[in-house]
Structure 1
Amino acid sequence: MQSFRTEIENPIVERDILELERKIALFKEGKIDEEKFRSLRLARGVYGQRQPGVQMIRIKLPYGRVTGDQLRRICKVSEEYSTGRLHITTRQDIQIHYVSLDRTPELWAELEKDDVTLREACGNTVRNVTASETAGIDPNEPFDVTPYADATFKYFLRNPICQEMGRKFKMSFSSSDEDTGLAYMHDLGFIPKVKTIDGKEVRGFKVLLGGGLGSQPRHGDVIAEFLETDQLIPLIEVVLRIFDRHGERARRNKARMKFLVKDLGLEAFLELVEQERKALPFHSYPLDFENSEAGQKLPNPEKPELGAELGLDFELWKQTNVLPQKQAGYVAVGVRVPLGDFYISQARALADLVQKYANDEVRFTLRQNFLIRDVREDLVPYFYQELKKIGLAERGYNSLGDITACPGTDTCNLGIASSTGIAVELEKVILDEYPQYLKNKDLVIKISGCMNACGQHNMAHIGFQGMSMRVGKTVIPALQVLLGGGNLGDGNGRFADKVTKIPSRRGPEALRILLNDFEANSGDLDFLSYYDEKGQIYFYELIKELADSSKVTEADRIDWGREENYEVAVGVGECAGVVIDLVATLLLEAKEKLDLGQESLENGRWSDSIYHHYAGLINAAKALLLGEDVSTNSYANIISLFDEKFVETGKVNLGRSFADKVYEIKNHEPSEEFAKAYAAQALEIYQVLKNYREEEVEA
């Protein structure tokens, strides 16, 4: 297991992995609290799954891009440490399951050999930065957002401002006004725009803030119609600083950005943003990618020999799975991956295919598929032939029959009912009874196993949410049926209405009723227009008979994909980590942050040093407050309560208020002079607080 120490060239990455290994050992020895250890491993992509004793590993793939070599590396790791099955998430990541905790440092080290990371794939961090899979090839795009998404990912990875926020933070870049990146449902969403200024075309973004799904979906607010690209990184950083300071930390279900914006009000939030700008290390962060885009090369391989005649299946597949590109003579091939699950034998063959005959990359999609880009048009038959050999030539890419579903009760602690099981059944219904819908890309079905909406069910035209239903003295698996959600483009979307709850076993019949009614009565209307014309009550009446619990049968007691009677078994979710309330642990953590601050100071990273010292002071103050049984719910709350409980009462003498000292961070530019002064002050305050705590314990 120690061999990775000499094989990793990046010392920062090596330290990350060694730190994980060390903390695993301390946890096993009982020297780290379980909840604190959970927070640490989540930020390193190690997620507890439903089955005890094993972990899910989330591999972070910015904007879903993976090269052939990286895909082979992921296969090697899955084969060695997991089950050989790869799962594509709705955030363009790859997950592997059933991994032993002890082997996660070694696994991570293996991935890093091809520049693949686990860092900040889970936990209270900036999660994977997603983007339209067509970015760079979209015929309708103003410019390629890929390099901007990449710059965002790199800038905020390991950035001290977003390592331990109150909750996770999600960003997305769309390629065009079609908004296939779903900007409106992200904490920050970006849609590319071009504007003429002084006779010159200037690149920028429409920006949306505070969107989200879950049990209380919220549409993002437009905070900029046109933000020039040099302001992208500064805006994200200042928003993250405000979220880190003011975001809820005690009530986990209220800790997302959408709740902070709602509670403060958009205007007040943006005022805080303006007040914080002085503290930024960059007031302009130029991102000039025009020249790099112009230098991009397209593949021109020798044409391979084709086997037997392909026939009608190929023609049908081509209608739904081949997408136009803005590059003349090239197309993209969409590969439908049912439920996002495929295997390493398929992935290895895929890696060979894209390296030899495409542009050596695959983009995983928000709908759990993948897109092969830059395929020369005359090679499309060959790609179909090769994909069919490995079982990846199903037609209906991004169609109604291409259903999105989270893992649900298969592996997730929060799953209430099986999302994958019902998804399989609904796909069968569409394929066998409504094959015409395999061409329909205007209707979307999404399924989540619980209210947290990892399957994005509440923004679909037809959505299903896993639930339970009490019938007499027993509980059966159920589905909430939601209708009328959808992406309207240019940062506009709508969330689905809850129509009724039905036993899970009746899900296929509900779909039949809905599709039959739509086909018979909608005329020329699209589904959303038809839904609006008829209204929520009409659809309730249409399927209400399926909700009748008096007609429950024995079959209704068994969930899809299962053989045994249903039991509710919801564990502790780890989607965003847990707040730690141990005084000693917090003081130790405060010292670790101060040490990181000193290291940043020595390396001339003034802004990083300031923020590490700031975070160290917050942790030390929280430790003393918790020692007095004082509850806190945000960093700003910690600062004010510390003054109230310790400084104003004379228990701790800092010369002036804690707030005055801590908030110097937002009143000064991050210069060398200020960084050194702030560091010295932070170390002095920490020592005072540490001495106070030791005296209290001894007393």
Structure 2
Amino acid sequence: MRDLKQILLEEIPEFKAKGEVFLKGELGKMDFKKVSGGFGVYAHRDGKHFMIRLRILSGVLGKEQLVAICNLAERYAVPMIHLTTRQAIQFHKLSLDNVCKVMEEGLEYNLYTRGAGGNYPRNVAMSPLAGLMKEEAFDVVPYAMAANGYFLQRINTYHLPRKLKVSFTSDKADGSQATVQDMGFVATLKDNKPYFKLYLGGGLGRNPRKGIPVDRLLPAEEALYALEAMVQLFTHEGDYEHHHKARVRYIADRMGDEAFVNCFWKYFETAKVKGGLDFSPEMPKYTKVGKRVEINHIAITSQKQEGLYSYYFHPLGGQLDYRLLRKISNLIEPMKDVHVRLSMGEGLYLVHLNGEEVQQVAEALDADNYLLGVEQTRSCIGVPICQMGILESQKALRAIVDYFKAKGNIKESLPPIYISGCPNSCGVHQIAGIGLVGNKKKIDGVLTGIYDVYMKGKCTVGETHLGELIGEVQEDQLPAFLYDLASKIEAAHQSFDQYMEANKEEVEQLLSK
């Protein structure tokens, strides 16, 4: 990676020059975005400040990197750190100079931003507890990391129609959302040997699509050939003329599922003939001696390694300042083998904790952890930061939580709520039990913020389905609607799914008030 780092360092002055032209008003927002996205940088809505996205490889964050992130955030006065819905970390409200400094200094700690946005392969997602779960086919960590390396080694050379999202999942819960990605690898065993079941051509946002389940299993050691096949398919078959139809799923729509899968295997066989991507994984060795404790705690999961545990920490809306992150860093620093795994839900796991350590962590962090009822709500960054945003999704999240708390009940009868401030689905609303999408429409002649309401989405291997649009609710009425719905479910003594099955029309009427 040393040569790559030098190349990336040499790119920064040219990027900065483009940014200066943008700040002078001589380059439009969209034209600047075409350049900045590939560096993991986006201008804020005010046109003066910037966001930079740190590409945390499959969400795995070592102690040294965690300290570096805390130091960067403090040094450059980052007011808010955002844990994203794709295992990345975003710094907001930075000057152009400080964006470039973060970009440069981050490379010293293998914190990459190149390709974290724009028309590039994005961070390879992974089940956050891969290798640690009691019920998983096999450990996908080395495969996901090899995929990251494959993309990063070429990251400055890609010319794709749009972004490319790849995920590796090791269990049926689909912790990396592999079944709704451009390319998903789901671990499975055949004759006690590791294989991947592939899901191709999925994606959320406008015109969403579940991934096509591929019958032919892929030997796990051929994973990099499959990646090369998808890159070549996307490069040669993708639409470079129409931005809104340039994702992989539109190729599948155009060709049809069977022809699309056959086309993929054609590119795969070509890659195999070319060779050079054979992969023999070195499986991680987990040697830490555990210590068992009897504990029943919502944030704590027992690992398959005897006497070791993981603690899940979820800041409200995925947002925290560097002081809280520093507290976490200082807490785990003396703990052997403990590191961070970012989730797809705007939170993080502290893994490889023994029984005494996990109790210590819980005591230190529980007060800042939001895991009950509507506190679990996820949200994109939204207005007033995002250029594409329509509504203030983070404000809506806090309004919901505050409303429920004011009523004295956070209500655990609702499934997790995912909020996107616009139809782009950065909040992955289409796979939520309750998904909300920001929009605006005229009501009585006044342009009014509304949320389109989707329900009964799900992302689980073999059971994934996209949420159904059932109505809309005005922005200022959203908390009351959700509280009324939760109260009705509790009164019926039913689960959310049971209630929706029996009372869908009643919910639609509740939305039409």
SS at match of 2:197: strand
**Residue among 391, 415, 432 paired with 1:460:** 432
Residues 246-275 of structure 1: CA distance to partner in whole angstroms, max 9, x if unpaired?
Answer: 211222111111111111112222333344
Matching of residue 421 in structure 1 with residue 392 in structure 2: no
SS at match of 1:351: helix
Output aligned runs, 1:368-387, within 5 Å. 368-387=346-365
**Residue among 126, 137, 140 paired with 1:142:** 137
**Residue among 113, 123, 143 paired with 2:118:** 123
Match of 1:406 in 2: 380
Tell me: CA distance 1:501–1:394, structure 2 relative to 1, closer, same or farther (3 Å).
closer
SS at match of 1:140: coil
Matching of residue 22 in structure 1 with residue 17 in structure 2: no
**Residue among 66, 72, 87 paired with 2:61:** 66
The answer to whether the 8 A contact 2:310-2:349 is kept is: yes
**Residue among 301, 310, 329 paired with 2:307:** 329
- In structure 2, distance between residues paired with 1:478 and 1:36: 30
Output aligned runs, 1:265-414, within 5 Å. 265-277=256-268, 279-280=270-271, 283=275, 285-289=277-281, 292-293=283-284, 295-298=285-288, 319-357=297-335, 359-388=337-366, 392-396=368-372, 400-414=374-388
Match of 2:227 in 1: 236
- In structure 1, distance between residues paired with 2:313 and 2:21: 46
SS at match of 2:217: strand
Matching of residue 530 in structure 1 with residue 508 in structure 2: no
The answer to whether the 8 A contact 2:19-2:96 is kept is: no
Match of 1:167 in 2: 162
SS at match of 2:323: helix
Aligned amino acid, residue 172 of structure 2: D
**Residue among 515, 520, 525 paired with 2:486:** 515
Match of 1:204 in 2: 195
The answer to whether the 8 A contact 1:231-1:283 is kept is: no
CA root-mean-square deviation: 2.7
Output aligned runs, 1:420-499, within 5 Å. 420-431=394-405, 433=407, 435=409, 437-438=411-412, 443-487=415-459, 489-499=460-470
Residues 593-628 of structure 1: CA distance to partner in whole angstroms, max 9, x if unpaired?
Answer: xxxxxxxxxxxxxxxxxxxxxxxxxxxxxxxxxxxx
Q: What stretches of structure 1 of length at least 5 have no aligned partner?
A: 1-8, 304-314, 546-699
- In structure 2, distance between residues paired with 1:63 and 1:277: 24
Residues 115-167 of structure 1: CA distance to partner in whole angstroms, max 9, x if unpaired?
Answer: 11111100101001111111111111121111111110111114279722111
Tell me: CA distance 1:329–1:98, structure 2 relative to 1, closer, same or farther (3 Å).
same
1:41 Cα shift? 2.5
SS at match of 2:148: helix
Tell me: CA distance 1:42–1:82, structure 2 relative to 1, closer, same or farther (3 Å).
farther
The answer to whether the 8 A contact 1:162-1:240 is kept is: no
- In structure 2, distance between residues paired with 1:26 and 1:119: 16
Matching of residue 114 in structure 1 with residue 85 in structure 2: no
**Residue among 25, 48, 57 paired with 1:53:** 48
Tell me: CA distance 1:146–1:429, structure 2 relative to 1, closer, same or farther (3 Å).
farther
| TM-score when normalising by structure 1 | 0.68
Match of 1:187 in 2: 182
SS at match of 2:149: helix
1:358 Cα shift? 5.1
Tell me: CA distance 1:181–1:435, structure 2 relative to 1, closer, same or farther (3 Å).
farther
Aligned amino acid, residue 180 of structure 1: G
SS at match of 2:213: strand
Q: What stretches of structure 2 of length at least 5 have no aligned partner?
A: none
Tell me: CA distance 1:500–1:118, structure 2 relative to 1, closer, same or farther (3 Å).
same
Residues 63-115 of structure 1: CA distance to partner in whole angstroms, max 9, x if unpaired?
Answer: 11111211111122222234242110000100001222234333212111111
- In structure 2, distance between residues paired with 1:29 and 1:433: 51
The answer to whether the 8 A contact 1:156-1:162 is kept is: no
1:29 Cα shift? 6.6
- In structure 1, distance between residues paired with 2:117 and 2:254: 25
Matching of residue 541 in structure 1 with residue 509 in structure 2: yes
1:340 Cα shift? 0.6
Tell me: CA distance 1:274–1:151, structure 2 relative to 1, closer, same or farther (3 Å).
same
SS at match of 2:121: coil
Aligned amino acid, residue 171 of structure 1: V
SS at match of 1:408: coil
Tell me: CA distance 1:410–1:320, structure 2 relative to 1, closer, same or farther (3 Å).
farther
Aligned amino acid, residue 25 of structure 1: A
Name the one with the larger helix percent. 1
| TM-score when normalising by structure 2 | 0.91
Q: Using the aligned pairs only, state the percent identity.
A: 25
- In structure 2, distance between residues paired with 1:444 and 1:223: 30
- In structure 2, distance between residues paired with 1:128 and 1:428: 33
1:522 Cα shift? 5.5
The answer to whether the 8 A contact 1:131-1:173 is kept is: yes
Q: What is the total number of aligned residue pairs between the two structures?
A: 508
1:36 Cα shift? 5.9
Matching of residue 500 in structure 1 with residue 471 in structure 2: yes
